[in-house]
Amino acid sequence: MKHTLIPLLLSTLLLAGCTSRHATEPRNVILIIGDGMGVPQVYASIVTQQADNSAFLRFPVTGFSRTYSLNRYRTDSSAGGTALTTGHKVENYHVNWAPDSARYRTLFDDAVASGRTTGFVVTSSVVDATPASTYGHVPYRKMYDTLSLQLAQCSHSVMIGGGRKYFRPANRRDGTAPLDTLASRGYTISFDLDSTLAFSGSRLVSLLYEGDPLTAPARGDLLRRCTQKAISLLDRNPQGFALMIEGSQIDWACHNMDSAYLRAELSDFELMLHAVLDYAERDGHTLVVLTADHETGGLTLPEGDIASGSNDLHFLGGDHTGCMVPVFAFGPGAEAFTGIQQNTDIPTRIRHLMHWNETD
User: Tell me: the pLDDT tens digits for 158-187?
Assistant: 999 999 999 999 999 888 999 999 999 999
> What pLDDT, on the 0 to 100 scale, is given for residue 280?
98
In tens, the pLDDT along 10-37 reads 444 444 444 444 457 899 999 999 999 9
> What pLDDT, on the 0 to 100 scale, is given for residue 23?
53
Q: What is the mean pLDDT of residues 38-58?
A: 97
Instruction: Note the pTM of the prediction, 2 decimals.
Output: 0.93
Dmax (CA) for the chain in angstroms is 72
User: Rounded to 5 degrees, what are φ and ψ at 196?
Assistant: -65, -50
> What pLDDT, on the 0 to 100 scale, is given for residue 357?
75
What element of type H or E holds 174? none
Q: Taking the CB of residue 203, how many other CB atoms lie within 10 A of it? A: 18
Q: Determine contact, residues 88/209, Cβ cutoff 8 Å.
A: no
Q: From CA 341, how far away is CA 178, in angstroms rounded?
A: 38
Q: What is the mean pLDDT of residues 211-240?
A: 98
In this structure, the dihedral spanned by the alpha carbons of residues 245, 247, 249 and 254, taken in order and rounded to 10 degrees, is -130
Q: From CA 264, how far away is CA 234, in angstroms rounded?
A: 28
Q: Determine contact, residues 247/265, Cβ cutoff 8 Å.
A: yes
Q: From CA 37, how far away is CA 191, in angstroms rounded?
A: 29
> What pLDDT, on the 0 to 100 scale, is given for residue 358?
56
239 has a pLDDT exceeding 80: yes
CA-nearest of 81, 62, 31, 49 to 268 is 49
Residues β-bridged to residue 305: 310
Percentage above 90 pLDDT, the chain = 90
> What pLDDT, on the 0 to 100 scale, is given for residue 175?
86
> What pLDDT, on the 0 to 100 scale, is given for residue 266?
98
Instruction: Give the residue with greater pLDDT, 174 vs 344.
Output: 344
Q: Regarding beta strands 61-66 and 325-330, do their DSSP bridges make them parallel or antiparallel, or are they unpaired? A: antiparallel
In tens, the pLDDT along 279-337 reads 999 999 999 999 999 999 999 999 999 999 999 999 999 999 999 999 999 999 999 99
Over the chain, what is the mean pLDDT?
Answer: 94
Domains, the chain: 23-135+221-354 (3.40.720.10)
DSSP 131-159: HHTTT--BSSTT-HHHHHHHHHHS--SEE
Peptide bond into 217 cis (omega under 30): yes
Q: From CA 231, how far away is CA 244, in angstroms rounded?
A: 10
Q: What is the mean pLDDT of residues 103-113?
A: 98
> What pLDDT, on the 0 to 100 scale, is given for residue 7?
41
> What pLDDT, on the 0 to 100 scale, is given for residue 3?
47
Q: Taking the CB of residue 238, how many other CB atoms lie within 10 A of it? A: 8
In this structure, the dihedral spanned by the alpha carbons of residues 227, 232, 238 and 240, taken in order and rounded to 10 degrees, is 0
Instruction: Give the residue with greater pLDDT, 13 vs 146.
Output: 146
What element of type H or E holds 243? strand 241-247
Q: Which of 4-13, 52-61, 145-154, 164-173 has the lowest mean pLDDT?
A: 4-13
1 has a pLDDT exceeding 80: no
> What pLDDT, on the 0 to 100 scale, is given for residue 19?
42
Q: What is the mean pLDDT of residues 220-238?
A: 98
> What pLDDT, on the 0 to 100 scale, is given for residue 24?
78
Q: Regarding beta strands 295-296 and 300-305, do their DSSP bridges make them parallel or antiparallel, or are they unpaired? A: unpaired
